[in-house]
């Protein structure tokens, strides 16, 4: 058995795409996933599987909850490398966000991002992860809401540094 991380995009946000994580754990365990555990209701799951998961989790969610979300499956080494590559040293976990890409972008519109970012905001991209530092908060950032437009044709899911650290603890 190998350990995997699943980051599910866009569930339990604003009353849409509701998924009971406890129910999902039971469903996953009944489909040959083991040691399934989650962090908060926003789609952060660590689990073991005898084979590399593919589209199975998307299919299970669609069958049981009626919609098909984007699911990002990461190995522990890929996840740890994302942490290691974080270029920002701030310790406030809500100031730093990791945006995981489903594919390597062919083009990133840096001009758009530069036109929207504030003087204090910073960003960095490497290895299918976009790092965003927003010291005034992501909710106030004009850039934050437009990041997906800068990554045309790429699906993204974001997690703040607090969540990244919690998932990392779950891997131990």
Residues 6+ apart with CB under 8 A from 154: 101, 102, 103, 105
The CATH topology of domain 2-74 is Alpha-Beta Plaits (3.30.70)
Domains 2-74 and 84-171 belong to one CATH topology: yes
**Per-residue pLDDT, 48:** 96
Q: Are 50 and 9 in contact (CB under 8 A)?
A: no
- By DSSP bridging, strand 122-126 and strand 129-133 are antiparallel
Q: How far apart are CA 69 and CA 134, in angstroms?
A: 27
DSSP letter at 8 equals E
Tokens read off for 94: 């809500």
- By DSSP bridging, strand 71-74 and strand 122-126 are unpaired
Q: How far apart are CA 98 and CA 157, in angstroms?
A: 8
**Per-residue pLDDT, 13:** 63
**pLDDT tens digit sequence for 82-119:** 999 999 987 778 899 999 999 999 999 999 999 999 99
Q: Map out the domains of the chain as residue ranges.
A: 2-74, 84-171
Give me the average pLDDT of each 10-residue run along the chain (172 residues). 91 73 91 92 90 88 91 96 93 90 96 97 97 93 95 94 96 89
In 3D space, the residue among 141, 151, 93, 149 whose CA is nearest the CA of residue 118 turns out to be: 141
Instruction: Evaluate the CA torsion angle 93, 97, 102, 105 in order and state its sign.
Output: negative
In 3D space, the residue among 37, 36, 27, 30 whose CA is nearest the CA of residue 62 turns out to be: 27
> Could you write out the DSSP letters of every residue in 120-138?
T-EEEEETTEEEEE-TT-G
The highest-level CATH class for domain 84-171 is alpha beta
């Amino acid at each position: 058995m190998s350990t995997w991380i699943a980051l599910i995009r866009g569930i339990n946000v604003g009353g849409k795409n509701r998924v009971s994580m406890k129910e999902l754990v039971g469903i996953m365990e009944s489909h040959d996933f083991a040691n399934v555990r989650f962090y908060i209701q926003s789609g952060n799951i660590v689990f073991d599987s005898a084979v590399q998961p593919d589209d199975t989790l998307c299919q299970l969610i669609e069958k049981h909850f009626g919609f098909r979300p984007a699911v990002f499956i990461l190995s522990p080494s890929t996840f740890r490398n994302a942490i290691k590559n974080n270029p920002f040293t701030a310790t406030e976990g809500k100031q730093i966000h990791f945006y995981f890409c489903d594919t390597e972008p062919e083009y990133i519109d840096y001009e758009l991002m530069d036109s929207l970012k504030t003087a204090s905001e910073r960003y960095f991209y490497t290895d299918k992860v976009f790092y965003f530092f927003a010291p005034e908060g992501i909710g106030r950032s004009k850039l934050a809401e437009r990041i997906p437009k800068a990554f045309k044709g790429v699906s993204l899911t974001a997690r703040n540094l607090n969540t990244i650290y919690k998932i990392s603890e779950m891997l131990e």
